[in-house]
Amino acid sequence: MHRFDEVTLEFYGIRGRDHINQVFQPGYEIILDPDNGRQRPKGIGYQNCFFTDTGEPIPDCRFTAPRGAVTRVTLVVDSPGVALLHCHTHGTSMNADLIILPHPAPPS
C-alpha cells in the first residue's frame, strides 16, 4: 500500500471469545510490560480509522473483533514505513506488519 491510501482490513474471529486489535502507526516499538513481563507494542494508533460498515470512528484504531463474525476496519495510512497490526488478546504471537510505501510521484 502507499501513503495516503484508504485501506480496508477484514477480520474473522476464530479462536477465543474476542480479539482486541490495534493498528499502530510506523515508529512503534516493542517493550517489556512492567505489569506482566510480556512484550507489547508502544506507539500511536491511527487516528483516521473507522468501521467500514457503519462509518463509526475508532479512537486510536483499537477495536474488538468478536468470534464468529467479520469485522471490517478502514483507515488512511498517512505515514510511510512499517505499521503494526497487533492483537492485545494474544500478545506478540499475533502480529502482522503493514508495509506502507511513499506515495508514487505523479507521471510527468
Q: What is the pLDDT of residues 65-91, one digit of tens each?
A: 999 999 999 999 888 999 999 988 888
105 domain residue, yes or no? no
CATH code, domain carrying 89: 2.60.40
Q: What is the mean pLDDT of residues 24-50?
A: 90
88 neighbors 100 (Cβ within 8 angstroms): no
Domains in the chain, number: 1
Which run of H or E residues covers position 85?
strand 81-87
Degrees (nearest 5) of the Cα angle 96, 102, 106? 140
Residue 72, domain extent: 6-100
Q: What percent of the chain has pLDDT over 70?
A: 97
51 domain residue, yes or no? yes
106 domain residue, yes or no? no
74 neighbors 58 (Cβ within 8 angstroms): no
Give the global pTM.
0.85
35 domain residue, yes or no? yes
Distance CA 80, CA 99 (A): 8
For residue 13, the cross-strand partners are: 67
Residue 44 CB neighbour total at 10 angstroms:
13
Q: What average pLDDT is seen over the chain? A: 89
